[in-house]
Every structure is written in structure tokens, then in C-alpha cells.
């Protein structure tokens, strides 16, 4: 595509030089201004395309960063999850202990602990030696 634009620019320059020969040196400054205006437009277009591309790349990176699991990791989320776990632990313990006594109580608490460990690993991928994809890709 650059070759086509360069060819067009060469044709324009040839046409301006031919016109200068036909009209004479009186119109030289107007012809030069016209050619320089075309070059300015070409440069402005190239700068604008590059700027749009850079801005689009930044927006894409920001969107990727916003979707990452770490971006959603907030203190409120962790605190809320802990409160909900404790609130649900009371009836689950009562039901498990009442129905199956000690094995039921152990099973209820094993489930509660398992869910909290899974949440902690999700929010902290480096926990237990596991790496996040971004960390692995950086190596």
C-alpha cells in the first residue's frame, strides 16, 4: 500500500513539474505550496493512523487488565466471602452434627474449609506453588 501512495506522490510531483514548465516560474511558489500541502496531508494521515492504533492497543490492554482475576480481587469481596462462610457454617454444623454426629460435623467443616481454600487459591494463584498464566508467560 505504501508503494501505491509513493507512486501517486511521484505522479503528482511529475505533474507539478510539467505544469511549472508550461506555466513558467511565476506560478512556482503556488505549485510548491500545493505539493507541500499534499505531503502535509499524507503525513497527517499517517500520524493519525498510528495514533489510532496506539490508542486502540492501550484500550485493549486496559480491557484485558480489567478482566483479570486480580482486578476483581478486592478487600470487600474477601471480607464478604469470609462472613458468608461463617454464617453458613453455623447451620451446616448443626445439621451435620445433629444427623451424623461427629462424622457429619467433620464433613460439614471439611466442605467449608475446602471452599475457602479454593477461593484463596483463586485470588492468590501463587499459593501452594501454583503460578498464574501471566506469571508463567512472563518467564
User: For 51-109, what is each residue's pLDDT tens digit?
Assistant: 999 999 999 988 887 766 554 567 888 888 989 999 999 999 999 999 999 999 999 99
Residue 108 burial (10 A CB sphere; 0-12, 13-18, 19+): buried
Q: How far is CA 45 from the centre of its chain?
A: 26
Can you read off the three cell numbers belonging to residue 4? 501505491
Please give the tally of structural domains in the chain.
Answer: 2
Pair (130, 81) in one structural domain? yes
Pair (92, 130) in one structural domain? yes
Count other C-beta atoms under 10 Å from residue 109's C-beta.
15
Name the nearest CA neighbour of 136 among 128, 121, 126.
Answer: 126
Question: Residues 6 or more apart from 83 whose CB is under 8 A from it?
Answer: none
pTM assigned to the model: 0.43
Pair (83, 123) in one structural domain? yes
Pair (80, 125) in one structural domain? yes
Amino acid at each position: 500500500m505504501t508503494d501505491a501512495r509513493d507512486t501517486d506522490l511521484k505522479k503528482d510531483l511529475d505533474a507539478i513539474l510539467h505544469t511549472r514548465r508550461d506555466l513558467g516560474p511565476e506560478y512556482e511558489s503556488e505549485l510548491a505550496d500545493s505539493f507541500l500541502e499534499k505531503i502535509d496531508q499524507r503525513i497527517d494521515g499517517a500520524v493519525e493512523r498510528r495514533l489510532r492504533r496506539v490508542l486502540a492497543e492501550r484500550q485493549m490492554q486496559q480491557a484485558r487488565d480489567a478482566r483479570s482475576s486480580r482486578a476483581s480481587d478486592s478487600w470487600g469481596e474477601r471480607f464478604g466471602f469470609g462472613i458468608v462462610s461463617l454464617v453458613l457454617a453455623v447451620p451446616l454444623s448443626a445439621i451435620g452434627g445433629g444427623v451424623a454426629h461427629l462424622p457429619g460435623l467433620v464433613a460439614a467443616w471439611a466442605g467449608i474449609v475446602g471452599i475457602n481454600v479454593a477461593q484463596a487459591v483463586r485470588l492468590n494463584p501463587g499459593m501452594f506453588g501454583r503460578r498464574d498464566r501471566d506469571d508463567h508467560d512472563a518467564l
